[in-house]
Structure 1
Amino acid sequence: MFDSFERRDGPNERKKLQCNSCKRQTIHTLEAQCIGRWQEEFGCGHSADGGVEFSLYRCGACDEVCFETSSWCSEEYDHDDEGNIYLPRTEIQYPPPSSADFAFDTDFTPHDLNELIDEMLYALAGSKLKLATVALRMVVEFIVTDTKCAGRNLMRKIDDLHAKGHVDQNQLALLHKIREKGNAGAHERKAMNRNEMVAGIGLVNLLLEKLYNSPKRQEEIVKKANQAFQSDDDS
């Protein structure tokens, strides 16, 4: 529960957000904003505080409206490159941002993998490149683990994917780039740029087609053909 809740008068801000109508990032104007703040006492002189900003944005290209929350908490602090403490914010956009850049065929892919892909695309569409970088690595790790690639770590499993003939030498090198940059994203908070993310996602799309979708489609086609010809023989 908030200890205070107020409406901000005359907001005059602009922000680049992913527009679900334009299917791209556009400049949005802040039309309205409310701010709720809370504070909690834990005893022994210890307390915590935080808040949430509720913002209504309008796309400058098509007038489509979206809603965003931005929350923070004094217990969830971090340090910048100079060692100064700051409170990172968690921003969530409604409806979730979507992109026209990627069209994944997930008809035959595992549900858990689809959820990872959705979270990765959500982070990328919202320009959360550090989160998207780590999520891309997680997608690759899920694929090599789910397809029973051998190895005690992700590097060895990617090598085994190549040994099994699922990727060529060039694709192998690119998957290792994703692994290395994903490690840097998780441990050093270094993000891929958008072009790198787009290239990596394109490679993942190839893996989905080769390892999941194409084999299952062939299996269904052959099954239907066998049924059709069996029915013809019976008649």
Structure 2
Amino acid sequence: MATKEIKPAEKKIVKAHCPKCDGERNCTEHGTIYKAWDWEDKYHGHSMNGGVDHSLLECLGCETVFYHTESWDSEGYEPYYDAMGETQYETIKERATYPKPETKTKPVWLDAMQKKDPQLHNILDQMYIALDNQAHILTAIALRTALDRATECLGIDPAKTFEEKLNELRDGGWIGQTERDILGVVTDAGNAAAHRGWEPGSQEITQLVLSMEVFLHRAFIVGQEALGIKGNIPAKPKRLPPPAAVGKAT
């Protein structure tokens, strides 16, 4: 009796945002499960419902395996008009992948900070994680902490106030008056976030991060490397003494 060959079921191909390619790619769906949920406020009569699709996907390009969710709820919808001009409603679905794509805002020189000062590198690394997750309050606090550590690495007494530290950076030639004022804004933003719960907007936090990057890049990367070139520059040749006069014309 001939045995029937059992072929494995073909896996579904879906499109999803690959965290490594950082773009929408065709992916193999290795498994999926849908979880519905309901909520009801028995005292006031309010209710909601929704659901989440959980999937394990593998990118067909880079072969990265990642977790993908697609969620919806009864409160999220947007109107549109059909061919007859009637108003219809479409459910808004939120999609997320884990791990998240690595930030594109990290400067290329960030890894070099590990050799300069591991603690400062760690602060900056966590700052970018907060930035990736739109945690702007935490980002502002981390920027102030990074500035505090940077001044200590440059030899400034950590017991001094931020105002004193910034003035010493200026007086020591590390920054000019304009940059001193800019870093003062970074400090004030961090203080307001830490002590008053102030949250900067997306554009504001971007400007604060860029200001810090400019300072760190020059103080720890470009400036140090430029100083290292000094030993390779040949010394200026000494001028030869003028020849002695043979005689005077009569």
Choose from 213, 218, 228 the match for 2:221: 213
**Are 2:109 and 1:105 aligned?**
yes
1:27-62, Cα deviation, whole Å (9 max, x unpaired): xxxx7578xxxxxxxxxxxxxxxxxx9x6698xxxx
* 2:184 aligned residue: 176
**Does the CA contact (< 8 Å) of 1:96 and 1:122 recur in 2?**
no
- Conserved? CA contact 1:98–1:121, under 8 Å: no
1:139 maps to what in 2?
146
Q: Which has the larger radius of gyration?
A: 2
- Could you list the runs of 4 or more consecutive aligned residues of structure 1 that deviate by over 6 angstroms after TM superposition? none
Of the three residues 106, 127, 136, the one matched with 1:129 is: 136
Kindly tell me: are residues 162 and 203 of structure 1, through their superposed partners in 2, closer, same or farther at Cα, counting changes over 3 Å? Answer: same
Q: Residues 218, 169 of structure 1: CA spacing in aligned structure 2 closer, same or farther, 3 A cutoff?
A: closer
The verdict on how the C-alpha distance between 1:200 and 1:65 changes in structure 2, with shifts beyond 3 A counting, is farther
Question: CA separation in 1, counterparts of 2:67 and 2:99?
Answer: 7
- Residue of 145, 162, 172 corresponding to 1:154: 162
Residues in 1 aligned to 2:224 and 2:212: alpha-carbon distance in whole angstroms: 17
- The superposition leaves residues 151-183 of structure 1 with CA deviations (integer Å, 9 ceiling, x where unpaired) of 621221112111212222221111111111111
Question: Counterpart amino acid of 1:185?
Answer: A
Which of 102, 117, 127 in structure 1 is aligned with 2:124? 117
The answer on 1:199 being equivalent to 2:168 is: no
Question: What letter matches 1:183 in structure 2?
Answer: N
Q: What do residues 182-205 of structure 1 show as CA deviations (whole Å, max 9, x unaligned)?
A: 111111221222212221221222
How many angstroms apart in 1 are the aligned matches of 2:192 and 2:148? 15
CA deviation digits over 1:199-233, x for unaligned, max 9?
A: 1221222222221112332354455678xxxxxxx
Asked if the contact 2:22/2:101 (under 8 Å) is kept, the reply is no
Code of the aligned partner of 1:120: M
- The residue aligned with 1:12 is none
1: distance between equivalents of 2:18 and 2:170?
Answer: 36
Maintained 8 Å contact 1:32/1:57: no
- Residue in 2 aligned with 1:47? none
Which structure 2 segments of 5+ residues have no match? 1-16, 24-31, 36-51, 58-63, 69-96, 235-250
Range with bigger deviation, 201-210 or 93-102: 93-102
1:163 is aligned to 2:180: no
Alignment partners' CA distance in 2, 1:164 and 1:111: 24
Residues 155/97 of structure 1: CA separation in 2 closer, same or farther (3 Å cut): farther
Normalising by structure 2, what TM-score?
0.52
SS in 2 for 1:166: coil
After superposition, the CA RMSD in angstroms is 3.7
Q: How does 1:185-196 map to 2 (within 5 A)?
A: 185-196=193-204
Tell me the distance in 1 between the aligned counterparts of 2:147 and 2:167.
12
Distance 1:18 1:204, change over 3 A: farther
The equivalent residue for 1:22 is 22
Aligned length: 158
